[in-house]
Each structure stands twice: as structure tokens, then as C-alpha cells.
């Protein structure tokens, strides 16, 4: 029987003699990276605070060596392998002074034969990393430069592009053993790889096992392949290195996205045997479901419709970046929290963006269990990539590896060739600067689709995001397949999302700073202002502060202090994305999904995220929860007037009455209307408002307090509305684990929020962005034992800067 032993203990790391900080055998966590080791040793400052990121810029320009020792007792082994699930990035692996392997790709798993170098007793293991900058710049000089959205050489090394910095992330391009490492021993033969190809055929669950073997002897073998409670045995004759088996499961329960059904998972296993003895075993879990991507041209252009089990799904998505800039800190508990936050916001689809990583087993296991669909990009982003060797072979190896590794997971529904590179070739002045040099087209249109079909064969592939379906079309043509919408954030007011009529939106977003507690982690300036130097260091977007101010000027009253600026920018972000998401939903079924940029952050930063780098919910998260609810109503412009659109994404028909009021700026109800609805499952209905239902200048519309999220329509921006000064009463009451804050409105209250993280960084509030008219109440539940235990903190929940309304 094979044996596997992790090698995560006793590691140290040392720097090269030219490093500006002498680093000699300091402790290093594995999995982990150099920057974390330096930070733990007190040799660098926390790169997440103020501008300390500058102080680690040298790390990626130097070589690093990891070392550990382990004991080994010889046995009757035919194979002794060192196995690395991830090395970042260019490394030589040596055992007892003998080189056993080299690597040049962060995104692959590696297995090295250690038989010739291992010895009885103590063994010295060394992983020597070459500077990623030195390697990438040498490749760039050899092959000729290629365009990149950032002045970094990240497109010349198979390493996460965002390691070199992004418009939301730091440059921490170091090195390290970033995924598990172990010693594996085996006899006779071992299972090298299993790809379970899962399908549903006429109500029958089918698992086609493709098994690769590594042999040390030509013995006859057998494979026992199991799916659920069904199994089959396959004989593998002497000398054969591959085998296939088919297992059928009658009447399987189908796996669905969480808003469509359940997530039953079935155990699958492969046992390799010889002479009745088990030599090796592999196991995983699968879900039975079908997935299709309908992109057949129609009368309007080309759709991009995701179908699960034959049912079209309106995608309520977010983009995902690595959840930490220091990847070794990302564990299952952190991922579980983040993905549960996503599901709680009504999100059913996560696009793993191409500038990060092929996500971990923990990530995909959790998405399987939570019913979150995943679209995984191949790892190319915002740059031209060389196709010459060694890159072509490296890309093929990493694609094969990850296609096989992720094949069991039902949550994985699509593969996409790249992020914005086809768009870049068309629109970003690449063609002249490339001068005929390769840029990645061969990957996206040739290599990757062939590999997806060959290795997986059960999931659709799309060449790029965005991409319109054929090379002759502009890749961001809104009538054709997937688009990215960035003219709004970069150049225009967010109301211009309504100018778009897309088939599927794979990226759109709007910025805001993180929560107060996170701001204070990232910037210690006193007094804190929007233009404080350290706050600006954590604004990586080009002209980001100016774009935030443009949005404030268009919609909100002048800010009086930093507290206003923080609150108003966060409200603007939430309003912008909600407006866009509701507009795109109102276009269904013509439009088939929206994927917000972005769910999460990797450090404390002003960005497009709904959950900040410390894991705290920004107001945008609450707006997403409203916009992605199964049942919503939304007011949308119709010519010079307005219409009400009711959207039912539930499995049952929606019957009932929608009531809404027309109000004066003071909140006095000056008109009422009712809409009798009967909407089929997964359908919409709309009503164009006429006559007295249409609000006049200064008036506004608001739906009643029904269970679906409240919809509003304002004829003027807040900066121009004649709002009364906010008047309300606030009462607190202790509840289990926290405090309930009940607000009773005496006047209109716009976008009420309770920022409890100002009092307790760990506090969580159940709602935000609540608009009330006079006489209405809203109760905010603040989960915080620290606040509940303090009368002073409890009282602070009812006043600025914790309790806010736009017109306060």
C-alpha cells in the first residue's frame, strides 16, 4: 500500500548575499511565502499598513532558499517521490545535495523521483528559488517585450499576475512553497491521475473513469471503481499504463445551484489492486448534473446562456480574486467564511479571474457543498503572452493538470481562455507594438479548447472574457455574448449603465473605500482625510480618488468631513452596482446574467469589492443581496417616464399585489397605486406608469414594506432634493449576542446605515441602506457581545458617526 507523509515542519528560509536585509535561516511556514516569513521574523513592516508595501519591494528581486530535514526509514518501496502541490515559482529542488527536479510554473503540481538521493536517517531537503523578476526579465529580453496593462514582467513567467500588483492589489512578488509538500512511497504501481467524467443520460448517472497509472513492474492489476453504491472492476493487463471504467448510478439526485435545488454529492473512489492487495487508492466527490452554454446566434446577435440540467439560469455573479495577497494565509476556514458571505448575498456564480490562481480543493469543495457555480479562467490577464517555448509547454502542462484536478467538482461549470486579452489586442494599441510577435491567440483559440475537450469533455469553453463569439466581431460587442462594462467607472456617471443592452455582463463595478475598521488598519494618518498620503497609497486605480469625487459631485451633497466622505462613497458604490444589476435583470431573458467586479479583496484597499480585505461587509454587499433576491421590483426609465418591473426568479409563480406610494420631498404620501401581478416562475412583468402615478419634479416613488426588497425612484439627485433634516427616534434593546437598534422615522431617512465596526471591529449588522418615510420603523440587529456589554458603546449606536442617513 502506498504511504503519504506531509513535510511541513522545520523549514527555514535564507536570502541571497545581495539582499538589503540579511536573512539567514529564519523560520518559514509551509505552505507559505517569503514575505510572511520576513514579517514573522520582524525583518519587514506589515505591508498592509500605511506605505510599508514599499519596504518589501526588494523581495521579488532576490533569490531565496528554503531548507528542512526529515527522517526516513527504508522499506521495500519501488517508488519514493517528493510531491509539491505548488512551488512559487522558478526553483531547483535538491535532496541531500543532489538536484532531483526544477520548476518554472506556480500553477502546476510536481512529482520528483527521490530514490537515488534519499538515505536512511536524516535527509536534507532544499528548494532554491530564483528571483521571479530576474527570470521574467530574462525571458522578456530573449523573446521581445509584449504589452501589459501594468509596467511589470508578469506575462513572462507562469506566476499569478496579481503578485506583481494590480489596480486593487499590492506588489508582493516573492517566492515560496505555497501549497502542500509531501513524501510518497509505493510498490509495484500507483494511481498517477484519475479524471471522472460525469454525465446524465436519460435519467442515468454516468461516471466515465479515465485512470493513468505509473508502474514499476509488469504485474497484472485490477481497478475497482465506485460511484455512490455502484462499482465495477476492470482488469489492467501487464504493461498497460491507462485504463477506463464506466459506472452507472440509477436515478441519481441532481446537483443544482443553491437557488435552484439541492446539492447531493456522491462519493467516488478508485482502488488499485494486485493479487488481492490494495496498492493505492484515490477518492473524491462528484455531483450529477449537466451544463451547457448556449451561444448560438439569434435574431438579436448571440446569447450567452448558462443551462444547468437543461434549465436556463440567470447568473447572479461576482468576480473572485485571491482572498489574500499572501497566499499561505488562505485556509479552509477563511474560504468558508467568504463563500458563505457570497451565498448569503444571493450570489450563485463565482468567476475565478484569470490574473490569480486555479483555486484550491478547499475552495471547490465548499462551492460544491454550498451550491455556488464557478467559472474558472485560465491564467492570462490584461497582457500579451508569448507562445514560444518554454511557455507553450508550460501552459499545456498546467492546463492538463488543472483540468484533471478540478474535474470531479460539479460546481465548476465553465472554462474561459483569458481575461481581456482578446479585447486588449483589438483596442489597446497592441498590434503595432507587437509587430507580429505572438500574444496568446494560439492558446485561446487552439490549445486550450482542444485540451478542455480532450481532458474534461463535460464542460463548455469560451475563448475569452469578454468575447463575442467569432474573431471578426469586436470582442466587447454588447449584442454578442459576454461583455465587460468599464466606461461607466472610468469616464461616465453610473446612471449610464442603463445605456447598455448586453447579453451577458462578465464584469462591471464601482469603487469605494473599505469599512472604517479596515481603513484604520491600512492608514494611520492623523487627521484622516480623503487625500491622506497613506490612504492614497491604498488607492491603486488610475485617478481613483478623482473618479470617486466625480460620483459624489453628481449625486450627493458636499462632504463636510472624512466621515461624510467615507459614508457617501460607500453609498455611491452600492447605488451604482445595484442600479446596474437591476437594469440588467430587467432585460431578461435577452440579458442572461451579471457578474459584479468584485466580491472580495486581498488586502486593505479602496476597491470595487463588496467584502473588504479584512472580511467586513461594505454597504455594497447589502445592495447586492437586494439586487440578487429571487423576487425584486425595480423602477426603470421608459422614454420620458418610468415603469415598474417585477422579476420572479423563484421556482413558483408569483401572485399578489405590489403597492407603491408617490411622496413629496418631505415624505408625505400624495398618491397610491396597486399592481396586481401573476408572474410565472423565472419570468418578469412590467407596468408603465401613467397619469397621477408618475412623479413630478422633486417627488419620489417607494414601494411598500413587502417582503421583497424595497424599490425607490427619485426625480432628483440627493444633492438637489429638498430633503428635510433627518429627524427620528432611536431605541436599543439587548438581544442574544448583540443589540437591536430600532429607528422610527419622523422625516424621510435616506439610506440609513449602522456602522457598528466603528465600535467593535468584529461587529456584524443584519441590514443597511434602508430608506424610510415618516412613521416607518426599521430594526438593525448588531451582533457584538462587546457592544452589548458596554452601555456607552450601545448608546453610541444611535448617533453619528455610527448611525448615518444621507440627509442627517
**Is the pLDDT at 1 greater than 80, yes or no?**
no
Task: Give the pLDDT confidence score for residue 675 in this predicted structure.
Answer: 85
Q: Quick one: average pLDDT of 611-632?
A: 98
Task: Give the pLDDT confidence score for residue 804 in this predicted structure.
Answer: 98
Q: Are 189 and 280 in contact (CB under 8 A)?
A: yes
- Residue 754 φ then ψ, to 5°: -115, 110
Q: Quick one: average pLDDT of 501-515?
A: 98
DSSP for 466-519?
SB-SSTTS-TT-TTBSEEEE-HHHHHS-GGGGGG---SEEEEE---B---HHHH
Task: Give the pLDDT confidence score for residue 456 in this predicted structure.
Answer: 96
Give me 419's grid cell: 481575461
Per-residue pLDDT tens for 733-792?
Answer: 999 999 999 999 999 999 999 999 999 999 999 999 999 999 999 999 999 999 999 999
The domain ranges of the chain are 3-183, 188-286, 301-514+575-627, 631-711, 728-804
Task: Give the pLDDT confidence score for residue 26 in this predicted structure.
Answer: 98
Q: Assign domain 728-804 to a CATH class.
A: mainly beta
Q: Are 244 and 209 in contact (CB under 8 A)?
A: yes
Q: Quick one: average pLDDT of 571-577?
A: 98
Q: Are 59 and 20 in contact (CB under 8 A)?
A: no
**Is the pLDDT at 294 greater than 80, yes or no?**
yes
Query: From residue 290, how far is each of 307, 370, 528 by CA, in Å?
Result: 8, 18, 53
Helix, strand, coil content of the chain in percent (nearest 5):
25, 35, 40
Percent of the chain with pLDDT over 70: 100
Task: Give the pLDDT confidence score for residue 528 in this predicted structure.
Answer: 96
Fold that domain 3-183 belongs to in CATH? Jelly Rolls (2.60.120)
Distance CA(158)–CA(416), nearest Å, equals 17
Question: Is the bond into 598 cis (omega within 30 degrees of 0)?
Answer: yes
Task: Give the pLDDT confidence score for residue 706 in this predicted structure.
Answer: 79
DSSP for 583-647?
HHHHTTTTS-EEEES-S--SSS--BS-SB-TTSPBPHHHHHHHHHTSSEEEEEEEETTEEEEEEE
The domain at 188-286 falls in which architecture?
Sandwich (2.60)
Query: From residue 772, how far is each of 727, 748, 766 by CA, in Å?
Result: 11, 6, 17
Q: Quick one: average pLDDT of 281-309?
A: 98
Per-residue pLDDT tens for 451-463?
Answer: 999 999 999 999 9
239 vs 397, which has greater pLDDT?
397
Distance CA(406)–CA(368), nearest Å, equals 11
Query: Hey, do 188-286 and 301-514+575-627 end up sharing a CATH topology, with the first three levels equal?
Result: no
Task: Share the mean pLDDT of the chain.
Answer: 97
Say whether domain 301-514+575-627 belongs to CATH 3.30.1330.40: no
> Is pTM beyond 0.85 here?
yes
Distance CA(179)–CA(27), nearest Å, equals 17
**Is the pLDDT at 591 greater than 90, yes or no?**
yes
CATH number among 2.40.160.20, 3.40.50.300, 3.40.50.850, 2.60.40.10, domain 631-711: 2.60.40.10
Per-residue pLDDT tens for 643-666?
Answer: 999 999 999 999 999 999 999 999
Q: Which of 478, 406, 403, 488 is nearest to 447 (CA)?
A: 403
Distance CA(283)–CA(209), nearest Å, equals 12
Per-residue pLDDT tens for 230-266?
Answer: 999 999 999 999 999 999 999 999 999 999 999 999 9
Task: Give the pLDDT confidence score for residue 707 in this predicted structure.
Answer: 82
Task: Give the pLDDT confidence score for residue 705 in this predicted structure.
Answer: 81
Amino acid at each position: 500500500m502506498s504511504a503519504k507523509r506531509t513535510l511541513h515542519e522545520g523549514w527555514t528560509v535564507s536570502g541571497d548575499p545581495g539582499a538589503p536585509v540579511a536573512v539567514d535561516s529564519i523560520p518559514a511556514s509551509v505552505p507559505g511565502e517569503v514575505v510572511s516569513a520576513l514579517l514573522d521574523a520582524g525583518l519587514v513592516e506589515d505591508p498592509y499598513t500605511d506605505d510599508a508595501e514599499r519596504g518589501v519591494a526588494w523581495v521579488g528581486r532576490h533569490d531565496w532558499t528554503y531548507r528542512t530535514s526529515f527522517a526516513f526509514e527504508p522499506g521495500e518501496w519501488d517508488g519514493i517521490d517528493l510531491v509539491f502541490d505548488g512551488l512559487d515559482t522558478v526553483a531547483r529542488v535538491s535532496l541531500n545535495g543532489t538536484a532531483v527536479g526544477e520548476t518554472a510554473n506556480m500553477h502546476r503540481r510536481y512529482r520528483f523521483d527521490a530514490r537515488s538521493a534519499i538515505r536512511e536517517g536524516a535527509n536534507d531537503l532544499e528548494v532554491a528559488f530564483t528571483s521571479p523578476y530576474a527570470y521574467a526579465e530574462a525571458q522578456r529580453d530573449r523573446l521581445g517585450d509584449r504589452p501589459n496593462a501594468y509596467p511589470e514582467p508578469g506575462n513572462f513567467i507562469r506566476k499569478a499576475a496579481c503578485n506583481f500588483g494590480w489596480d486593487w492589489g499590492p506588489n508582493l512578488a516573492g517566492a515560496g512553497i505555497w501549497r502542500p509538500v509531501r513524501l510518497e512511497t509505493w510498490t509495484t504501481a500507483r494511481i498517477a491521475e484519475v479524471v471522472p467524467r460525469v454525465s446524465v443520460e436519460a435519467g442515468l448517472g454516468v461516471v466515465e473513469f479515465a485512470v493513468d497509472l505509473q508502474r514499476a513492474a509488469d504485474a497484472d492489476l485490477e481497478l475497482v471503481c465506485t460511484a455512490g453504491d455502484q462499482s465495477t472492476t476492470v482488469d489492467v493487463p501487464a504493461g498497460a499504463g491507462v485504463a477506463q471504467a464506466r459506472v452507472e448510478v440509477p436515478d441519481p439526485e441532481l446537483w443544482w445551484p443553491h437557488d435552484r435545488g439541492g446539492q447531493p454529492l456522491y462519493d467516488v473512489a478508485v482502488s488499485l489492486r494486485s493479487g488481492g492487495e490494495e496498492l493505492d487508492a484515490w477518492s473524491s466527490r462528484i455531483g450529477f448534473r449537466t451544463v451547457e452554454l448556449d451561444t448560438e446566434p439569434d435574431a438579436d446577435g448571440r446569447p450567452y446562456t448558462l443551462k444547468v440540467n437543461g434549465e436556463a439560469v440567470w447568473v447572479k455573479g461576482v468576480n473572485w480574486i485571491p482572498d489574500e495577497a499572501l497566499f499561505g494565509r488562505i485556509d479552509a476556514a477563511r474560504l468558508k467564511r467568504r463563500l458563505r458571505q457570497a451565498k448569503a448575498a444571493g450570489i450563485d456564480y463565482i468567476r475565478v479571474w484569470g490574473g490569480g490562481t486555479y483555486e484550491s480543493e478547499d475552495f471547490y469543495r465548499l462551492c460544491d457543498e454550498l451550491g455556488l457555480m464557478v467559472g474558472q479562467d485560465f491564467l492570462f490577464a490584461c497582457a500579451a503572452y508569448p507562445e514560444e517555448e518554454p511557455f507553450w509547454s508550460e501552459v499545456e502542462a498546467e492546463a492538463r493538470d488543472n483540468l484533471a484536478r478540478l474535474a470531479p467538482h460539479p460546481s465548476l461549470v465553465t472554462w474561459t481562455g483569458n481575461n481581456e486579452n482578446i479585447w486588449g489586442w483589438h483596442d489597446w494599441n497592441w498590434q503595432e507594438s507587437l509587430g507580429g510577435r505572438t500574444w496568446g491567440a494560439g492558446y485561446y483559440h487552439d490549445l486550450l479548447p482542444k485540451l478542455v475537450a480532450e481532458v474534461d469533455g463535460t464542460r463548455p469553453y469560451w475563448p475569452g472574457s469578454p468575447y463575442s463569439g467569432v474573431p471578426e466581431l469586436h470582442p466587447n460587442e454588447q449584442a454578442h455574448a459576454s461583455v465587460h462594462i468599464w466606461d461607466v467607472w472610468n469616464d461616465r456617471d453610473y446612471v449610464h449603465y442603463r445605456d447598455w443592452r448586453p447579453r451577458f455582463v462578465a464584469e462591471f463595478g464601482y469603487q469605494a473605500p473599505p469599512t472604517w475598521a479596515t481603513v484604520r488598519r491600512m492608514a494611520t494618518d492623523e487627521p484622516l482625510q480623503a487625500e491622506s498620503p497613506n490612504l492614497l497609497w491604498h488607492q491603486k486605480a488610475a485617478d481613483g480618488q478623482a473618479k470617486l469625487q466625480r460620483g459624489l459631485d453628481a449625486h450627493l451633497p458636499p462632504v463636510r468631513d472624512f466621515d461624510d466622505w467615507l459614508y457617501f462613497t460607500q453609498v455611491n458604490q452600492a447605488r451604482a452596482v445595484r442600479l446596474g444589476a437591476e437594469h440588467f435583470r430587467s432585460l431578461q431573458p435577452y440579458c442572461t446574467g451579471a457578474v459584479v467586479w468584485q466580491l472580495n479583496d486581498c488586502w486593505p484597499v479602496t476597491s470595487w469589492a463588496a467584502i473588504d480585505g479584512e472580511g467586513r461587509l461594505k454597504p455594497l454587499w447589502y445592495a447586492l443581496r437586494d439586487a440578487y433576491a429571487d423576487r425584486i421590483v425595480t423602477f426603470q426609465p421608459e422614454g420620458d417616464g418610468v415603469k415598474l418591473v417585477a422579476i420572479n426568479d423563484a421556482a413558483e409563480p408569483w401572485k399578489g399585489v405590489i403597492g407603491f406610494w408617490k411622496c413629496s420631498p418631505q415624505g408625505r404620501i400624495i398618491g397610491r397605486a396597486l399592481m396586481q401581478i401573476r408572474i410565472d416562475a423565472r419570468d418578469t412583468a412590467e407596468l408603465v406608469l401613467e397619469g397621477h402615478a408618475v412623479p413630478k419634479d422633486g417627488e419620489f416613488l417607494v414601494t411598500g414594506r413587502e417582503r421583497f426588497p424595497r424599490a425607490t425612484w427619485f426625480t432628483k439627485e440627493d444633492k438637489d432634493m429638498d430633503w428635510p433634516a433627518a429627524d427620528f427616534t432611536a431605541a436599543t434593546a439587548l438581544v442574544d449576542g448583540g443589540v437591536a437598534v430600532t429607528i422610527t422615522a419622523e422625516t424621510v431617512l435616506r439610506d440609513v446605515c449602522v456602522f457598528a465596526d466603528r465600535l467593535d471591529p468584529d461587529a456584524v449588522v443584519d441590514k443597511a441602506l434602508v430608506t424610510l418615510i415618516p412613521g416607518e420603523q426599521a430594526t438593525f440587529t448588531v451582533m457584538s457581545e462587546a457592544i452589548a456589554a458596554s452601555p456607552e458603546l450601545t448608546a453610541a449606536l444611535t448617533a453619528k458617526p455610527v448611525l448615518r442617513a444621507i440627509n442627517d
